[in-house]
Amino acid sequence: MALNSLHLLLTYRCTYACDHCFVWGSSQATLTMTIGQVRAVLEAAVRLGGIGEIYFEGGEPFLAYPLLLAGAREAVGRGLRFGVVTNAYWATSEEDATLWLQPLGALGMADLSLSEDRFHGDLPSPEVRHATAAARRLGLPQGVLRVELGPDCSAGGVRLRGRAALRLAGQVRLQPWQQFTACPYEDLADPGRVHVDGAGYVHLCQGLAMGRIDARPLDELVAAYRPQAHPIVAPLLAGGPAALLREYGLAHEAAYGDACHLCYHAREQLRPRFPEFLGPGQMYGAGLGSDGVRPPSDARSSTTGAESHRRGAEGAEAL
């Protein structure tokens, strides 16, 4: 397997609850990795060989700042390069952003990826501007991640899985489900990158796992991966989400916004049957109400995207 990049979902907790979020990040999310899990994954990465970079992301990894720093130290100590993906909520001024970034810079952070788009708040983002200025001042490589949603959802980088399937599908052009005959975005036969989370799932795509590291170490799991024997991957490789639907005789709508929308809908139905490969519940919004942000007892029946974003941020302030 050509695995060369490992992404650690340090925590699903986030200051925001963006409409396009694949992983249902919010201030309500609690699942967070332990330093023991991080260390075990990094040790396995070294045994695997070929892993060129470790990314710390979430959720919002700066909400687990001590863990982020310790994980970065553990990675560097094993000769691994690391980067961080963040919404920069912590960059309240350039001077403050410098305080947060300096310790990561001292460890040799190879990349700081900053999320800035209409889903993450006002444009342009003052926080991203402060973080960019501080990173430049410290000589740290940085870049901005932007996505947008047009009528053809494949063009702007939004994928209709996770909260995006709930909140954004109504804003894009729908196509007959039979058209989605391939997975357009992930190399499921020979993945170059996987995500690992605090529940131990090793994700080929968000919520679609090759297995769990609580059953065996990451390097053994990777060595044992057989795409053609995987109950979800095999149909996806044979004929995309449409084949997954047919393989298991699943219920479906007439049309979907993109391949991920259909795939996610199919996988939701298959979760009880394949819990080892389709999880954790966090990746499917388990326990959240119709707003996709808060538990049913708290959630109003409908909110706008801006409302859900603001309420996520408000919740974080209360933490």
Interacting residues with ligand SF4 (CB under 6 A):
159, 161, 183, 185-186, 205, 208, 236, 241, 259-260, 263-264
Burial (CB count <10 Å: 0-12, 13-18, 19+), residue 19: buried
Of 140 and 208, which has the nearer Cβ to ligand SF4? 208
* Beta carbons of 60 and 8 less than 8 angstroms apart: no
Of 212 and 311, which has the nearer Cβ to ligand SF4? 212
Q: Which helix (H) or strand (E) holds 202?
A: strand 201-205
Of 92 and 179, which has the nearer Cβ to ligand SF4? 179
Is the bond into 139 cis (omega within 30 degrees of 0)? no
Alpha helices in 107-232 (DSSP H): 126-138, 163-167, 218-224
Alpha-carbon span 44 to 218, nearest angstrom: 6
Helix (H/G/I), strand (E/B), else coil: 58: strand
Amino acid identity of residue 241, one-letter, is: P
Of 209 and 263, which has the nearer Cβ to ligand SF4? 263
User: Measured from the CB of residue 191, what is the shortest distance to ligand SF4 in angstroms?
Assistant: 10
Which residues pair with residue 58 across a beta bridge? Answer: 11
Which residues pair with residue 112 across a beta bridge? Answer: 84, 142
* Beta carbons of 280 and 11 less than 8 angstroms apart: no
Alpha-carbon span 43 to 273, nearest angstrom: 32
User: Measured from the CB of residue 105, what is the shortest distance to ligand SF4 in angstroms?
Assistant: 33
Of 71 and 257, which has the nearer Cβ to ligand SF4? 257
User: Measured from the CB of residue 270, what is the shortest distance to ligand SF4 in angstroms?
Assistant: 12
Burial (CB count <10 Å: 0-12, 13-18, 19+), residue 27: buried
User: Measured from the CB of residue 51, what is the shortest distance to ligand SF4 in angstroms?
Assistant: 21
* Beta carbons of 201 and 284 less than 8 angstroms apart: no
Alpha-carbon span 311 to 14, nearest angstrom: 12
Of 130 and 267, which has the nearer Cβ to ligand SF4? 267
Question: Among candidates 14, 25, 10, which has minimal Cα distance to 164?
Answer: 25
Of 185 and 248, which has the nearer Cβ to ligand SF4? 185
User: Measured from the CB of residue 261, what is the shortest distance to ligand SF4 in angstroms?
Assistant: 8
User: Measured from the CB of residue 280, what is the shortest distance to ligand SF4 in angstroms?
Assistant: 16
User: Measured from the CB of residue 16, what is the shortest distance to ligand SF4 in angstroms?
Assistant: 22
User: Measured from the CB of residue 123, what is the shortest distance to ligand SF4 in angstroms?
Assistant: 27
Of 191 and 198, which has the nearer Cβ to ligand SF4? 191
